[in-house]
Amino acid sequence: MSEIIPLFSTSSSFGQGGIFTVEEAGKSVKNGKKLRGPESICDLAKEEGLTKIYLVETKFANFMEAYKNLKKINCDLHFGLKLCVCEDMGTKTDESLKTESNVIVWPAIDSDKVYEKFIKISSKASIDGFYYRPRIDWKTLCAMWSDDLLLSLPFYSSFIQKNSLTFSTIVPELPAKPLILREKGQQLPFDGIINGAIEKYAKINGCEIQDVKSIYYKNRAHAKSWQIWRCILDRTEYDKPNMEHCSSSEFCWESYKELVGGATK
């Protein structure tokens, strides 16, 4: 596929997302001037004339606000729920952390019923599986799965990445054939290693690969704000953030626009 899909995420995806908000478009502007503070995805969508936003979140906190505020500017919301999946959600030990990887679940059709399923899966992970963060296991995910859901594998945190760049050997029982997401233009040194692994997996398992770009902040200049926010969450400091491989300022809209040559609608 030639299209590169921008995947936004907000500050509600603790430690795994961006610094965007989903505040109503125009609210952060006073007397024609942009107020200091985080950027709203709705402002960005309005500015750029976007007709759909792909939002990837680890929880539902922002879903309704995003849906309503994007609707006001005639922009469709495609909501993806990023889930941490482990081998056994009942095993809450440090060893079990090694079995963790992420998936992103999307609605295959636009219906309220699908979002109800999202909420059920998310609640299960938050209530029964919680260990440092919400988790579900492959068996439970398979049991709760239905055909109106779509499974995708994020580039930097799926089991394919874990098996390639860590000593984990995760052999999951997947609920459906996954769509594999391939990050473009993020400029991390091991992108080639993950890319090789996903291409191999896709070929063997007959999966499709979709090019995407995760977007955590608007411009490269905002990367510092994003990192400081991460430092606050991790209780580290800017001079010594202790964030392994956190070295690229390309997780931004500015970089995405350059990548697709300005064609963003």
Partner 1 sequence: MIGSELLRYSDKKIVLFDLETQRVNIMGDNLPFQCSWIVCDKYKVLSRNNYYLKWPGFTMSKGAAAITRFQQSWVDNGDDPEFVLKAFESYLMDPSFLIVGHNLLGFDVYVHQLWRETLGLKRDFSYLSRIIDTNLIARAYKMGWKPDKTDFLAWQYKVMSNPVKGVKTNLAQLNKDFQIGVNESNLHNAAADLELNFAVYRKLIGLVEV
**Which of 229, 241, 254, 259 contacts partner 1 by CB under 8 A?**
241
**Which of 165, 174, 176, 260 contacts partner 1 by CB under 8 A?**
165
Q: Give yes or no for residue 246 binding partner 1 (CB under 8 A).
A: yes
**Which of 187, 232, 233, 234 contacts partner 1 by CB under 8 A?**
187
The DSSP result for 118-185, as a single string, is: HHHHHHHHHHTS-BSB--EEHHHHHHH--TTEEEEE-TTTSHHHHHHHSS-------SSPPEEEEE-S
Q: Give yes or no for residue 223 binding partner 1 (CB under 8 A).
A: yes
> Least distance from C-beta 25 to partner 1, angstroms?
30
First CA to last CA distance, the chain: 17
Q: Which is nearer to partner 1, 73 or 97 (CB)?
A: 97
Q: Give yes or no for residue 164 binding partner 1 (CB under 8 A).
A: yes
Q: Give yes or no for residue 101 binding partner 1 (CB under 8 A).
A: no
Distance CA(154)–CA(215), nearest Å, equals: 13
CB neighbour list of residue 190: distance below 8 Å, 6 or more residues apart: 165, 245
Q: Give yes or no for residue 219 binding partner 1 (CB under 8 A).
A: no
| C-beta neighbour count of 261 within 10 angstroms | 7
Q: Give yes or no for residue 224 binding partner 1 (CB under 8 A).
A: yes
Residue ranges binding partner 1 (CB under 8 A) = 164-167, 187, 189-190, 193, 223-224, 227, 238-249
